[in-house]
Amino acid sequence: MAGQPIRKPTRLEPWQDAGQTPYVRIEKVTKTFGDFVAVDEVSLSIYRNEFFALLGGSGSGKTTLLRMLAGFEQPTEGRIFIDGVDMAGIPPYERPVNMMFQSYALFPHMSVEQNVAFGLKQDNVPKAEIRDRVEEMLGMVQLSAFGKRRPHQLSGGQRQRVALARSLVKRPKLLLLDEPLGALDKKLREKTQFELVNIQEKLGVTFIVVTHDQEEAMTMSSRIAVMNHGVIAQVGTPTEIYEYPHNRFVAEFIGSINMFEGRVVEATADHVLVASEEAGCELHISHATPAPAGSPVAVAIRPEKIALSKEPPPSGADGTPARNATKGIVREIAYLGDVSIYLVQLPTGKTVRVTAPNVTRRTEMPITWEDEVYLSWRPFAGVVLAQ
Amino acid sequence: MRGAVSALAAVLGRLGLWGRGVVVAVPYLWLMLFFLVPFLIVFGISFSESVIAQPPYAPLVEWLTDEDAGTTKLQLLLNLTNYLRLTGDDLYILAYLNSVKIALVTTLLCLFIGYPMAYAIAKAPPARRGPLMMLVILPFWTSFLIRIYAWIGILKGNGVVSNLLEWAGITSGPVEILYSDWAVYIGMSYCYLPFMVLPLYSTLEKMDPTLLEAAADLGCRPFKAFLTVTLPLSIPGIVAGSLLVFIPSVGEFVTPELLGGPDTLMIGRVLWNEFFANRDWPVASAVAIALLLVLVVPIMIFQYVQAREAEER
């Protein structure tokens, strides 16, 4: 997860505060297209000033959910409240919401200025005020010099900023963004991610952004809802989603992860012991699980939480084999510059992915192909996932 | 044979006319031979004098040998009377104005009927668009003349429309719509409607529907969104469709001849009369050339709009 900005420590966490009323409330919303269930009984609460991401693959229902918020689709069942108002039957042009479209949907027959002014004209804002606000918006997205151009005379990044200016000029309380950075190249995308976060904090607008890019979601958002087949797999802060996935889908969708199948041997209030033939050792996890002893579970461990060493880790005091430690042979090494990815094959045949920062220069690297290595991790590294 | 072909290829190749050149050259040669040359002949005839002879016009260029004076002259005689007659005689001016009027009304009728049609087809589910467009084009499978004759049956006194109006109690007796300007409007807008629908449909169909969503999202009501987004973006289709209807309508002959009244004066009929009834080829040619000039302006508008549209892509 390169490039995660450090958010301000005083960040609001309204979802922790029981006294807060959510700005957007989605209540058991279902949307079907014929036989296809695009969104399946989704409930969500999104608070003022949040940067909320709907993350999922194609067909996960994230865009359908966003379109229902904008009013382009009506829920088959369930209700949507924005600022306490039931949105049922309210057409898009009467909702206090603006949307930034994935294709930007700029009007090709209008100049940049006219595009941005369009929304204000619909509200019969006085001409002088329109001019000032358009100017201010174009200044904010650094396009003041391009006001007279037509969209086809702009680059992709410039069009994206026009679309953003157009969707923000009406000062909506809620902005919906559908894959806002999807059409930009990698460098520009990273730069724009930070710009979006800054604009969102400066204007105090609630953002709901749809994305399939987990890195984008983690970088920008205060909370993420991971969607899969029309249902929400997990809602949480980026850290929660990454460190404490609730289920296999979330664990595997976000980042890379090693899964060890096993059986619970011991379950107490502060730790779990899992016997895993696949891992070749007993796994000690320092958090509780509702899974009772004897039940099959999977233990998920992130590649960067596994340490690689040529020395065997110290075994238990009474001579029992060490927990959270196993050995294998390095089969592949992928050098990525800042980190290297090692694929280590255990005697059980299981391949474990380990990432280690390249603290030393590559030439001096002690571990190479076909080396026998020891893998070990701390008790907090693992997450027990029930079946 | 093969040797001859390759020799020809070599000669043309040296002229830079092989391969791609030939592909372009063949249709151009065809147009030169069967369009440009006849046009120049007509242009020439329009400057000559009508005579009772075979062909019925005087040659433009003549060798004049004066035995007495001992001179030989190559004489080019440009007779401007034909054009002066066009401007001097009310008949021609009225015919031109009336042609333009009928073509304009036809174009507007086609636009008002064709736009909603094209819009509805473009908004129909993709699977239904093909069959709907097919239905628009289907009448072309029947002869144009037969369809016009069918309209005679519909519009004449005691025809379908007349009987229907009488049966509904709107009129007390038979109504003769046939042989009037209205019959011409109906017949012509019927005939040319597909030429309006096709370009309009292709413009409306490729329009990004998210633009209308964006307009709605920014607070624009559906009808206003139509006026501010859909309509301006369909201008290329409107222009193309209007010209495809207007241009052939101005010179239309068959429909006004069959459905129009004796006073439905159109340039096509005047031309026909000059050519076949009066056998005045020079005046007929001048009428044709003037008609072309009337049409050059809209064609240039068409070219301009197309060029601008291509530039914006």
Annotate B247-276 with b (16+ C-beta within 10 A) or e (fewer): bbbbbbeebbebbbeeebbbbbbbbebbbe
pLDDT band, very low/low/confident/very high, at A1 (cuts 50, 70, 90): very low
- Say yes or no for a CB contact (<8 Å) between A93 and B220: yes
CB contact under 8 A, B220 and A170: no
Q: How confident is the model at residue A9 (pLDDT cuts 50, 70, 90)?
A: very low
- Chain A hits for B217, CB-CB cut-off 8 Å, are 70, 92-93, 97-99, 167
Domains of chain B: residue spans and CATH = 2-45 (no CATH), 83-311 (1.10.3720.10)
In SS3 terms, chain A reads as CCCCCCCCCCCCCHHHCCCCCCCEEEEEEEEEECCEEEEEEEEEEECCCCEEEEEECCCCCHHHHHHHHHCCCCCCEEEEEECCEECCCCCHHHCCEEEECCCCCCCCCCCHHHHHHHHHHHCCCCHHHHHHHHHHHHHHCCCHHHCCCCHHHCCHHHHHHHHHHHHHCCCCCEEEEECCCCCCCHHHHHHHHHHHHHHHHHHCCEEEEEECCHHHHHHHCCEEEEEECCEEEEEECHHHHHHCCCCHHHHHHCCCCEEEEEEEEEECCCCEEEEECCCCEEEEECCCCCCCCCCEEEEEECHHHCEEECCCCCCCCCCCCCCCEEEEEEEEEEECCCEEEEEEECCCCCEEEEEEECCCCHHHCCCCCCCEEEEECCHHHCEEEEC
CB A49 within 8 A of CB A206: yes
First to last CA, chain B: 48
Do residues A300 and A383 lie in contact, with contact meaning Cβ atoms separated by under 8 Å?
A: yes
CA-wise closest residue to B178 among B257, B106, B114, B253: B257
The pTM of this model reads 0.81
Structure tokens at A27: 């209540």
Residues of chain A with Cβ-Cβ distance to B213 below 8 Å are 70, 72, 92, 99, 101, 105
Q: At what angle do helices B144-155 and B160-167 cross, to 10 degrees?
A: 30
Task: Decide if B219 and A97 are in contact by the 8 Å CB cutoff.
Answer: no
Are residues A366 and A310 in contact, defined by beta-carbon separation less than 8 angstroms? yes
Residue with tokens 């006026």: B227
Q: Which residue of A has its CA nearest to B229?
A: A107
Separation between Cα atoms, residue B60 and residue B77, nearest integer Å: 5
Nearest CA in chain A to B208: A105
Structural domains of chain A in order of their starting residue, each with its CATH number: 14-249 (3.40.50.300), 256-310+319-386 (2.40.50.100)
Name residue A377's beta-bridge partners: none
Q: Which of A69, A73, A99 to mutate to test the interface with B (most CBs of B within 10 A)?
A: A99
**What's the pLDDT tens digit per position in B255-299?**
988 998 888 888 888 888 888 888 889 999 999 998 888 888 878
**Under a CB-based contact definition with an 8 Å cutoff, are residues B214 and B247 in contact?**
no
How confident is the model over B229-251, as a mean pLDDT?
Answer: 92
Please report which confidence band the pLDDT of residue A352 belongs to, taking 50, 70 and 90 as the band edges. Answer: very high
Per-residue model confidence as pLDDT tens digits over A233-258: 999 999 999 999 999 999 999 889 99
Q: Which of B211, B219, B232 sits opposite A122 (nearest CB)?
A: B219
Q: Which residues contact A40 (CB under 8 A, 6 or more apart)?
A: A30, A61, A229, A230, A231
Phi, psi of A148 (to 5 degrees): -90, -5
pLDDT at B124 over 60: yes
**Bridge partners (DSSP) listed for residue A263:** A275, A296
Mean pLDDT, chain A, whole residue set: 88
* B221 burial via Cβ count (<10 Å: 0-12, 13-18, 19+): middle
ipTM of the complex, rounded to two decimals: 0.83
So what's the pLDDT on residue B11? 73
* Residue pLDDT, tens place only, A31-63: 999 999 999 999 999 999 899 999 999 889 999
Phi, psi of B59 (to 5 degrees): -65, 150
- pLDDT at position A319 over 70: no
Closest partner residue to B312 (CB to CB) among A99, A101, A152 is A152
**Whether B224 and A109 lie within 8 Å, measured CB to CB:** no
Residue A134 CB contacts under 8 Å (≥ 6 apart), including other chains: A113, A116, A117, A120, A147, A169
Q: Indicate if the pLDDT at residue A12 is higher than 70.
A: no
For chain A, first and last CA: distance in Å?
27
Residue A4 predicted with pLDDT over 60: no
Average pLDDT, chain B: 88
Q: Which whole-number Å values give the CA distances from A14 to A237, A245, A366, B250, in the listed order?
A: 12, 21, 48, 72
Contacts of B233 in chain A (CB under 8 A): 108-109
Per-residue pLDDT, A317: 56
Please tell me which of A107-121, A359-373, B299-313 the model is most confident about, judged by mean pLDDT. A107-121
- Per-residue pLDDT tens for B125-180? 999 999 999 999 998 899 989 999 999 989 888 888 888 888 888 888 888 888 88
Chain B within 8 Å of A151 (Cβ-Cβ)? no
What is the CA angle A159-A164-A168, rounded to 5? Answer: 150
CA distance A69 to A75: 9
Q: What is the pLDDT of residues A182-226, one digit of tens each?
A: 878 888 888 888 888 888 888 889 999 999 998 889 988 999 999
* Of residues A72, A107, A122, nearest to B211 (C-beta): A107
Please compute Rg for chain B using Cα positions. 26
C-alpha to C-alpha distance for A274 and A295, rounded to whole angstroms:
10
- The contacts of residue A125 (CB under 8 Å, 6+ apart) are A133
Collect all residues from B whose CB is shorter than 8 A from any CB in A: 208, 210-211, 213-222, 224, 228-229, 232-233, 312-313
CB A114 within 8 A of CB A146: no
Nearest CA to B288 out of B1, B95, B11, B55 is that of B95
> Cβ atoms within 10 A of the Cβ of A123, count?
10
**Residue B90 is which amino acid?**
D
Chains A, B: CB contacts under 8 A, how many? 60
* Residue of B226, B193, B194, B223 whose CA lies nearest to B211: B226
> How far is the C-alpha of A111 from the C-alpha of A146, rounded, in Å?
9
Q: What is the 3-state secondary structure (H, E, C) of chain B?
A: CHHHHHHHHHHHHHCCCCCHHHHHHHHHHHHHHHHHHHHHHHHHHCCCCECCCCCCECCCEEEEEECCCCEEEEEECCCCHHHHHHHHCHHHHHHHHHHHHHHHHHHHHHHHHHHHHHHHHHHCCHHHHHHHHHHHHHHHHCCHHHHHHHHHHHHCCCCHHHHHHHHCCCCCCCCCCCCCHHHHHHHHHHHHHHHHHHHHHHHHHCCCCHHHHHHHHCCCCHHHHHHHHHHHHCHHHHHHHHHHHHHHHHCCCHHHHHHCCCCCCCHHHHHHHHHHHCCCHHHHHHHHHHHHHHHHHHHHHHHHHHHHHHHCC
Give contacts of A103 with chain B, Cβ < 8 Å.
208, 210
Residues forming beta bridges with residue A24, ordered by sequence position:
A46, A82
Pairing of strands A325-335, A77-82: unpaired
Using an 8 Å CB-CB cutoff, list chain B residues near A82: none
| Residue % of chain B over a pLDDT of 90 | 44
- Asked if B221 and A93 come within 8 Å (Cβ–Cβ), the reply is yes
Residues from chain A that touch B221, judged by Cβ atoms under 8 A, are 93
User: In this predicted model, what pLDDT tens digit does every residue of A127-146 receive, in sequence order?
Assistant: 999 999 999 999 988 999 99
Distance of CA B148 to the CA centre of its chain: 17
pLDDT value of position B15: 67
Range of weakest confidence among A106-120, A147-161, A335-349, B53-67: B53-67
Q: What is the mean pLDDT of residues B182-193?
A: 93
As a whole number of angstroms, the distance between CA A7 and CA A102 comes to: 26
Q: What is the Cα gyration radius of chain A?
A: 25
Nearest to B213 among A97, A105, A118 (CB): A105
The fraction of chain A above a pLDDT of 70, given in percent, is 94
Nearest one of A212, A166, A165 to A189, comparing CA atoms: A212
Residue B63: per-residue pLDDT? 84
Q: Does any CB of chain B come closer than 8 Å to the CB of residue A109?
A: yes
Q: Given a cut of 60, is residue A170 above it in pLDDT? A: yes
State whether B313 and A70 contact (CB < 8 Å): no
Taking an 8 Å cut-off on Cβ atoms, the answer to whether A108 and B219 are in contact is no
> What value, to the nearest 5°, has the Cα angle with vertex A180 and ends A214 and A173?
105
Euclidean distance between CA atoms A106 and A109, whole angstroms:
9
